[in-house]
Structure 1
Amino acid sequence: MDRLTSWERRTSVALLAIGVVFLLSWAIPVLVPNLPTAADTALWYLQVITWALFTADYLIRVTLAPRRLRFLVRNIPSLLVVLLPLLRPLWLLRALLLLHVIADRIRLPLRLRAVVYVSGTALFLCMVGSIAVLDVERDNGNIKTIGDAIWWSLTTMTTVGYGDRFPITAEGRLVASGLMIAGIALAGVVTAAIASWFVERFERTAALDRRTEAGLAQVAAELTETRKALADLAHTHNMLRDELATLTARLNS
């Protein structure tokens, strides 16, 4: 195990906790806009601290990476999250690892675990998207409440798009673009899972039919052999009976 993998394993739980703290410090001022100034300032400093911790983690991972250029190329979204404050909520995607751990630890079939993971991902993205769009659209657009934001997120992720609620700011449209892409991707995953389930059922039924046909063919072959053996026994019996009759006739004469 290289140093980078070891570091990521040791810090995964801590980063998850930091992500939850960041989520709360980011969401509370959006959901409760009339917070006291002291509380609002404290939450802002908490966001800065968590962002600094994520930045430190990224720099440490760059330092520990055996191939730094390759690491940078493969982790461009992480770099953008560090550099652009608008994308900082994307660090919360690390929380999806918790869903993966839960799905692995509960005793469920693989397909049900995938359903748990995909459902959790959809709910998480809907929640984050709702808070993000409310944060940037409340003062300028027609998304004024968390209810409006959740409704808009659901219609956007499901690609329904009624048009009664829509973002008008550049930041809101960026959030909308992310939700659209995520919604299409999740719909593709769900469709693939359903198609896989049907294909598996058909293959299982076909395999059962093949085994049944093979069993019936084997039984038919065994019956044919049995009939042949019985015919041979009957022929032998007739020959012995004829010989016995011949011997009896000779003895009587």
Structure 2
Amino acid sequence: MDARPEKQERWDRRMEAPLAVASLLFLAGYTVRVLAHGMDRVWLDLCLAVTLGAWGVFIVDYVVRFRLSGLGPLRFVRAHLLGTIVLLLPLLRPLQMVKIYDGIQRRRRGKPRLTLYARVMAYSSLTVTLLGFAGALAVYQHERGASGATIRTFGDALWWAAETLTTVGYGDVTPVTTIGRFIAVGMMACGVALIGAVTGSFSSWLIQTFTREDEERPPGGTPGAS
């Protein structure tokens, strides 16, 4: 009998807390490096070390998962494409907390849990918050000193992130650098996907609610019936 699934499950449980801490440390270290312009060099170097250390945890986790999977490199990458992208773009690693929270919820047997629709809403909200903040940091880092930039403060970056994720796009602040525009494309795609997930979940909840009310209504109990 192949013991790989059991080993993978044990590894997942063992790495929940370290990955969550590493995700928070990565985001915290990156935030300080981007926003704390006047900080002493030694503290900036310390933040860089924390950020790289957290990234190292992600790499170790990815390598161990690859070894436990028993798959070839190409098959593993295809099967874990999103995880590979996130590893190469570590700024997305704080989203790991969403996956960890979901795993914890699934193992809470016998305890009340959020409904599917509430979970979609909660996870989408958490994802939007983390993605918006991380995207704002990345865009601000590359745009603040660019020629002709309209995103000159972190407040501008946060406003731009809100516009982009909600697909409103007023156009009052826009990235002018190549990297900034690349980040914008990714956030647009994520915004469309998240809005679709929330809208679809809310619509399904409404349909289910109205269907249940119709089923529970006694015959002849239609409002206005004599």
- CA, structure 1 residues 76+114, in 2 after alignment: closer, same or farther (shift >3 Å)? closer
Normalising by the residue count of structure 2, what TM-score does the alignment of the two structures yield? 0.83
Deviation at 1:121, TM superposition (A): 1.4
* Counterpart position of 1:229: none
Q: 1:91 aligns with which of 90, 93, 97?
A: 93
* Counterpart position of 1:156: 164
Say whether 1:126 aligns with 2:132. Answer: yes
Cα distance between partner residues in 2 of 1:103 and 1:155: 31
Deviation at 1:99, TM superposition (A): 4.4
Deviation at 1:88, TM superposition (A): 1.6
Indicate conservation of the 8 Å contact 1:156/1:179, yes or no: yes
Gaps of 5+ in 1: 216-253
Greater than 6 Å deviation, 4+ residue runs? 102-106
Identity among equivalent positions (%) equals 31
* Counterpart position of 2:83: 78
- CA, structure 1 residues 60+206, in 2 after alignment: closer, same or farther (shift >3 Å)? same
Cα distance between partner residues in 1 of 2:174 and 2:72: 41
- Which structure would you say has the larger RCO, counting Cα contacts within 8 Å and 6 or more residues apart? 2
- CA, structure 1 residues 103+148, in 2 after alignment: closer, same or farther (shift >3 Å)? farther
Q: How many residues align?
A: 210
- CA, structure 1 residues 38+58, in 2 after alignment: closer, same or farther (shift >3 Å)? same
Say whether 1:197 aligns with 2:205. Answer: yes
Normalising by the residue count of structure 1, what TM-score does the alignment of the two structures yield? 0.75
Q: 2:143 aligns with which of 137, 154, 168?
A: 137
Query: 1:93-112 alignment to 2 at 5 Å?
Result: 93-100=95-102, 107=112, 109-110=114-115, 111-112=117-118
Q: 2:191 aligns with which of 183, 207, 228?
A: 183
**CA RMSD for the aligned pairs?**
2.3
> Which of the pair is proportionally richer in helix?
1
Cα distance between partner residues in 2 of 1:147 and 1:99: 29
Cα distance between partner residues in 2 of 1:103 and 1:129: 27
